[in-house]
């Protein structure tokens, strides 16, 4: 019949096999798994012959998730996707802060955190962690470089979800440190709380794995001392992020131990 669409896997009249996904494409190549016709666009090379894209996707969904030594789901694709995304987000926000100054929109004042604003605008406890001082570009560069270095170590080991949760909780923990120990009227901003959370997490995880903790202890000590010696540095956020990151990593190790117990 004129205009009739081919049936699934066959052409009109059943004479020439066609691709199930593209009924207008005749093909004599069949999938080694389901034995259905598959056109060149839907073919995936296998160890023997080819598989259709449907079988490949089905096999990927049924394959058990590989987990790292620290219990995180091993990432597929870029092992630093979250790290690069966070760096890109912070850099973009920094550019918008500068642009806002030009057009009269003060993003820094809109999203920074001060303890006095906690009750009325609690979301600032998180948004302040993505702002940086427009008067000191080194503030952004140092934080992003630290995020890159520690993200390169922690994200592949923890998995994307746990790494992102660790960083965000550490930012909130930094704001809690400012709330408990800081001046209620002093505004704070920067990703330092999140970065110090990565410091604390690495310390706990290295102890858990039986690795040397001396280098990370020296790094933590030096950075904490800088926060106390130099004005304009929110040491309260550093301390809050450090404690939060360490506690979060400790919970991760507890979950890992419980998963390894017999019968779990």
pLDDT tens digits, one per residue of 138-192? 999 999 999 999 999 999 999 999 999 999 999 999 999 999 999 999 999 999 9
Tell me, yes or no, if the pTM score tops 0.85. Answer: no
Are the beta carbons of 219 and 188 closer than 8 angstroms? no
Confidence of residue 260 (pLDDT cuts 50, 70, 90): low
Confidence of residue 122 (pLDDT cuts 50, 70, 90): very high
Mean pLDDT of the chain, nearest integer: 86
List 51, 62, 192, 258, catalytic entry? 192
Lowest mean pLDDT among 36-40, 196-200, 219-223, 248-252: 36-40
Are the beta carbons of 212 and 206 closer than 8 angstroms? yes
Domain ranges of the chain: 12-62, 81-260
Class of domain 81-260: mainly alpha
For residue 4, the model assigns a pLDDT of 45
| Maximum mean pLDDT: which of 12-26, 85-99, 224-238, 244-258 | 85-99
List 62, 133, 238, 258, catalytic entry? 238
Neighbours of 119 (CB within 10 A): 7
Per the annotation, the verdict on 132 as an active-site residue is: no
**Exposed e or buried b for every residue in 156-171, given b needs 16+ CB within 10 A?**
bbbbbebbbebbbbbb
For residue 13, the model assigns a pLDDT of 47
Q: How many helices (H) does the chain have, and how many strands (E)?
A: 9, 2
For residue 196, the model assigns a pLDDT of 97
| Partners of 43 in the β-ladder | 52
Which residues lie closer than 8 Å to 6 by C-beta, 6 or more apart? 12, 18, 23, 24
Per the annotation, the verdict on 22 as an active-site residue is: no
């Amino acid at each position: 019949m004129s205009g009739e669409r081919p049936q699934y896997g066959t052409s009109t009249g059943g004479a020439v096999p066609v691709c199930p996904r593209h009924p207008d494409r005749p093909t004599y190549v069949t999938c080694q798994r389901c034995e259905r016709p598959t056109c060149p666009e839907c073919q995936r090379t296998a160890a023997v012959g080819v598989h259709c894209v449907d079988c490949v996707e089905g096999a990927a969904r049924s394959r058990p998730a590989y987990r790292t030594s620290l219990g995180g789901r091993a990432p597929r694709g870029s092992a630093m996707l979250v790290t690069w995304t966070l760096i890109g987000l912070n850099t973009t926000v920094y550019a918008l802060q500068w642009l806002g100054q030009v057009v009269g929109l003060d993003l820094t004042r809109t999203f920074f955190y001060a303890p006095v604003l906690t009750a009325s605008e609690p979301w600032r406890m998180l948004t302040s962690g993505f702002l940086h001082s427009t008067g000191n570009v080194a503030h952004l560069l140092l934080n992003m470089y630290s995020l890159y270095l520690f993200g390169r170590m922690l994200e592949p080991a923890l998995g994307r979800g746990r790494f992102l949760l660790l960083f965000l909780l550490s930012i909130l923990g930094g704001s809690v440190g400012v709330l408990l120990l800081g001046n209620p009227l002093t505004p704070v901003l920067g990703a330092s709380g999140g970065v110090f959370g990565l410091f604390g997490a690495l310390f706990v995880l290295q102890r858990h794995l039986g690795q040397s903790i001396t280098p990370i202890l020296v790094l933590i000590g030096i950075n904490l001392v800088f926060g106390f010696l130099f004005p304009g540095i929110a040491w309260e956020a550093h301390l809050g992020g450090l404690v939060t990151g360490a506690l979060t990593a400790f919970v991760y190790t507890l979950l890992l131990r419980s998963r390894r117990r017999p019968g779990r």
